[in-house]
Structure 1
Amino acid sequence: MTSFSEYESLNFRRYKRNNKVLLNFYSFLKLFSCFCNERKGRNRITSTTNEIFEMSATQLAYYIRNKKISSFEVVSNFIERQKQVNPVLNAIVADRYEDALQEARNVDKFLETTELTETELSERKPLLGVPITVKESLSMQGMPLVVGAKNRRGFIAEKHGESVRMVIEAGGIPLCVTTTPELCISNETNNLVTGKTNNPYNIGTTCGGSSGGEGALISSAASVCGLGSDIMGSVRIPAAFCGIFGHKPSTGVVDISGHVPWSEEPLFKKCLSIGPLCRYAEDLLIVTKILTKNNPLLRLDEKVNLNNINVHFMEDNGNPANTLKVHPLIKHRIKQSVDHFRNKWKCHISDVKFDDARFDPVIIALFLSYQNDYISDNVKVGYQWMKSIFGKADYSMGLLLYLLGKNHPKLLIDSCETDTILKFVTHFEQKIDHVLGDNGILLYPTFPTPAFKHGASCFTLSSCTYPGLANLLGLPATTVPVGLTENGLPVGIQVIAARNQDRLCLAVAKELESVFGGWLPPFDTNTGASGQFRAAAQV
């Protein structure tokens, strides 16, 4: 029987060798796809004309509760904004605007008659009257649940997924469900039902995936916050590519029922999480508290003393087999973040080194091990691939790449055996628990590069292991926007903590927002929102 260390070494050697072989093939596909998908014009997103769009969900909820602005006005403005930008983005699967407007009217009527105090309202309905958006795969009653699959056309969700139900119960008003790749299996939002979703900073590039529609709408100020799901960075990659915040909660603290695709396998349930995307860091806390029912294990109401945090960092994962190198700006922002915590907060700093070369094959093995009941076992991948050249395929390129790896895993690695994967997982968990403890964070790239061009996702498979580390170990992780490249594309870094230490991620994200400026709009701002108006809503 192969020992743990022998298996580890063998698997990595095969992964490294085959990654180089596949690189030549993928490079051809990348160039061909980029040529076919080239779009001119870096930015077509129009400017906002109302200071409502420059406010956080937390601030909007405060003003609505205090009747300084009506829910109907807020919802109406966001609906008009979505109608304005979606023809450019293609981020909406289906809307529910009429229902949302009626729900906003009901909120305003309720506020005229309620005897609840502002404090009681904020505790019971923290998002009362605030418009939100929801990733299609999370299940919203009466809305499509196609998830980009041609063979699911016509599917309608019969009931809310639990995460959707909780946010609506907290007062949120859903405006629409948003786009995903086919069955959420890609880091690029493109499918054969709704087509591709564009990045608001450059419509020739992807918004990421699989919560790509959320990232594009929120970044364009067409949604104030939204819900996404994350199994290998599906919240955090779109957040990084679209210049916003995204949080993947710890494993087991958010009810993930209602998600499509679904699997009863323990590894799937461990790695899948549902979390918020938003433009402002303070909204991460309010939505995370809703989704986790303010689980006492997380201590989300406990103030974090940044002086007591141990800051660990890695500029890359040290894997020479990776096809993408970490962008210099991402490395620079990690260094600047470390310097900030060293100089301002006198934190202990550690340039931690894991044996990261083995992360990639293990995480890819994990991904390929899922039993996906939504895909027929009889799909002829080669035949479908040939059909795709002529635009006649029944499945998207992202799904075909997944099936190729699943049907022929030895193209990448030697084994996808669950028992072997679990040995790796246990080893990593023990090591990272020891390093991070209850007061440590790890600053790490969310993804090695800014958004790539449409059709190039096949070139980036191994890079999904950057965010996949947190899924593999069940850790909380938050993407923080840290600026724009010289080409005007956002980059992000992630803050990772030990399990159930989500509060550390959220506190550090808010601190880094003050350092790097957070969300930088993909359009010129004309409103010049009053600082006094925004400051008054700090609650």
Structure 2
Amino acid sequence: MGLTAGERIVQWLFRAVSSFFCALFVLVSPRRKAGKVAPVTESLLLIPAVQLAEKIRRKQVSCVEVVQAYLDRIQQVNPLLNAMVKDRFSAALAEAAQVDRLIEEETGGEEALADRLPLLGVPFSVKESFFLQGMPCSTGLVSRAGFVASKDAPAVALLKRAGAIPLGVTNTSELCMWLESSNHLYGITNNPYDTTRICGGSSGGEGSILASGGSVIGIGSDIGGSIRMPCFFNGIFGHKATPGIICNEGQLPPSSGLQEDLLSTGPMCRYAEDLLPMLKIMAGTNADKLLLSSEVDLKKLRFFTVVDDGGSPWTSPVDKQLVEAQRKVIQHLEADLGVKVKEMSFPQLKYSYQIWDTCMALPDKDGKPPQPFVELMADGGSTVWPVWELIKWIFGKSNHTIPSIGLALMNSKPSPFYLKEKEALQHDMDKVLGTDGVLLYPSHPLLAPKHHHPLFTIYNFSYTGIFNALGLPVTQCPLGLSEEGLPLGVQVVGGKLQDHLTLAVALYLEKTFGGWRDPGTT
């Protein structure tokens, strides 16, 4: 079902007004000089995490050497990116020395060590919204500048228990509710492929530091695309797990109402082969609910593709280079695997933003509504008045960013109409995917936008947010670079608890399209 005449008029007006203000913003904004990070020259930085752990166990390289290589890279790229906002370099080096001593003293053999500590000695980075003992957890709130976590979030603790060594915490958007990682506490984070462009949000610091070679694996969270958008804009892999598999505790802001059903903690990394081991570790005892050890025969899967959201009046048209990249994926699947990729359309997708917004506003099973955003902004302190904050922002006096102020001014309420649309879409999507179906869908309508430009295309995140509302696992996969040297990509969607299918497709796409590309050599 296409757009009505009224919807087409609204679409034209909205896009015309957005384009006008975006062009005006470009004219009045100070010129930023485009830059990108230097090429990776240290070979240790180009090894997947699982292989790196194996080399460390076999004493082919010392853990101290590995950690020092990553510290050197962070010090090289971070002044340009502002991705890591607090490091723990001294502690990481001390822990690396302990790893080397442990390996020297190990008597059970390499296999026992691998079983007990599968990520032994592997450096990783952590989104600053997660508790990491001894590190800040502010999510960009100026009022939380002095907060230091006294314990680890469960997902972080599981990675550490597997032997991984945290290097520091990375920047987010304020309260993790915007698609650009910028706040008044740490500032703005840049894209390593082009520093005039966004790195995404809210796990944008993670995406930036990983893509630049400053980390090999990391941890993010996703309630509307906060893993997948940064992974797309930065050309790396990320996975939004089936909800309820990885524990979401120990992060700020906490979910409330029925938001826990939309929120997923998950892995972010440069190499597809690290996704499944990370997911298995981070899931803990819940890993048994997934078929992570089962072999996946891609030739026996059913593949589907959807080219766009059906023409929502509020979203941008999908960039032609992204359309072409998705078409090439289909060509390869059909030629290499002998499968038939069926093009689908779901009319409810044009309501993606409204469905996500309605789900975010739903009360929990006891009828308790979500915590108001203004309360999260206040963080237990004085009441935040959004209109007053807007006035202060105009004069450069507010401690809050304009996206947060704008969100606080909104008053979302559950809509029965969009709940029905969501139920219909859920039914249709579940029926199509089943336990052996995989869907290709654009990651975002646009390539990584210029800084601040998402203010004029605020609904484009609905391309990722809809799958949070549907509770489906999604793997974000890079597909090479655009003519401008920016990452291309696609979302690979599976049925509930079918995470292993999308991860298997990610491995295939990495082999076919080359996976992550060093931004310094593009």
| TM-score for the superposition, normalised by structure 1 | 0.89
Equivalent position of 1:68 in the other structure: 60
Local SS of the residue matching 2:68: helix
CA distance in 2, matches of 1:230, 1:170: 23
Local SS of the residue matching 1:394: coil
CA distance in 2, matches of 1:181, 1:15: 33
Which of 236, 240, 244 pairs up with 1:244? Answer: 236
Contact 1:125 1:169 (C-alpha < 8 Å) held by counterparts: yes
Cα distance, 1:420 vs structure 2: 5.7
CA distance in 1, matches of 2:442, 2:40: 31
Equivalent position of 1:300 in the other structure: 292
Is 1:273 aligned to 2:278, yes or no?
A: no
Question: Structure 2 unaligned runs (5+)?
Answer: 363-369
Cα distance, 1:32 vs structure 2: 2.2
CA distance in 1, matches of 2:403, 2:39: 33
Equivalent position of 2:481 in the other structure: 484
Kindly tell me: are residues 166 and 232 of structure 1, through their superposed partners in 2, closer, same or farther at Cα, counting changes over 3 Å? same
Is 1:471 aligned to 2:468, yes or no?
A: yes
Kindly tell me: are residues 450 and 385 of structure 1, through their superposed partners in 2, closer, same or farther at Cα, counting changes over 3 Å? same
CA distance in 1, matches of 2:11, 2:251: 33
Kindly tell me: are residues 121 and 419 of structure 1, through their superposed partners in 2, closer, same or farther at Cα, counting changes over 3 Å? farther
Which has the higher mean CA deviation after the structures are superposed, 84-93 or 29-38? 29-38
Aligned residue runs from structure 1 range 511-526, under 5 A: 511-524=508-521
Equivalent position of 2:95 in the other structure: 103
Contact 1:368 1:402 (C-alpha < 8 Å) held by counterparts: no
The residue identity in structure 1 corresponding to 2:402 is M
Contact 2:14 2:313 (C-alpha < 8 Å) held by counterparts: no
Kindly tell me: are residues 91 and 25 of structure 1, through their superposed partners in 2, closer, same or farther at Cα, counting changes over 3 Å? same
Kindly tell me: are residues 484 and 116 of structure 1, through their superposed partners in 2, closer, same or farther at Cα, counting changes over 3 Å? same
Equivalent position of 2:367 in the other structure: none
Which of 173, 176, 185 pairs up with 1:184? Answer: 176
Aligned residue runs from structure 1 range 498-509, under 5 A: 498-509=495-506
Kindly tell me: are residues 52 and 482 of structure 1, through their superposed partners in 2, closer, same or farther at Cα, counting changes over 3 Å? same
Kindly tell me: are residues 37 and 115 of structure 1, through their superposed partners in 2, closer, same or farther at Cα, counting changes over 3 Å? farther
Equivalent position of 2:403 in the other structure: 398
Local SS of the residue matching 1:295: helix
Local SS of the residue matching 1:264: coil
Cα distance, 1:20 vs structure 2: 4.1
Cα distance, 1:505 vs structure 2: 0.6
CA distance in 2, matches of 1:193, 1:64: 37
Cα distance, 1:27 vs structure 2: 4.5
Cα distance, 1:26 vs structure 2: 7.9
CA distance in 2, matches of 1:229, 1:277: 9
Which of 110, 113, 118 pairs up with 1:126? Answer: 118
Equivalent position of 1:535 in the other structure: none
Equivalent position of 2:81 in the other structure: 89
Kindly tell me: are residues 313 and 154 of structure 1, through their superposed partners in 2, closer, same or farther at Cα, counting changes over 3 Å? same
Aligned residues: 507
The residue identity in structure 2 corresponding to 1:477 is V
Which of 442, 447, 453 pairs up with 2:444? Answer: 447
Equivalent position of 2:219 in the other structure: 227
CA distance in 2, matches of 1:310, 1:359: 24
Local SS of the residue matching 1:374: helix
Which has the higher mean CA deviation after the structures are superposed, 432-441 or 453-462? 453-462
CA distance in 2, matches of 1:76, 1:42: 25
Cα distance, 1:322 vs structure 2: 3.2
The residue identity in structure 1 corresponding to 2:54 is Y
Cα distance, 1:23 vs structure 2: 6.5
Cα distance, 1:16 vs structure 2: 8.1
Cα distance, 1:219 vs structure 2: 0.4
Equivalent position of 2:337 in the other structure: 345
Cα distance, 1:328 vs structure 2: 1.0
Local SS of the residue matching 1:386: helix
Cα distance, 1:13 vs structure 2: 7.1
User: Higher RCO, 1 or 2 (CA under 8 Å, sep at least 6)?
Assistant: 1
Cα distance, 1:381 vs structure 2: 2.9
Contact 2:261 2:471 (C-alpha < 8 Å) held by counterparts: yes
Local SS of the residue matching 1:145: coil
Is 1:360 aligned to 2:353, yes or no?
A: yes
Cα distance, 1:449 vs structure 2: 1.1
Cα distance, 1:492 vs structure 2: 1.2
CA distance in 1, matches of 2:10, 2:387: 23
Kindly tell me: are residues 324 and 22 of structure 1, through their superposed partners in 2, closer, same or farther at Cα, counting changes over 3 Å? closer
Local SS of the residue matching 2:265: strand
Contact 2:354 2:418 (C-alpha < 8 Å) held by counterparts: no
CA distance in 2, matches of 1:38, 1:147: 28
RMSD (Å) for aligned C-alpha atoms: 2.4
The residue identity in structure 2 corresponding to 1:41 is A
Is 1:381 aligned to 2:378, yes or no?
A: no
Q: Deviations over 1:43-72 (max 9, x none)?
A: 2x1122211111111110110111111111
Local SS of the residue matching 1:509: helix
Local SS of the residue matching 1:138: coil
| TM-score for the superposition, normalised by structure 2 | 0.92
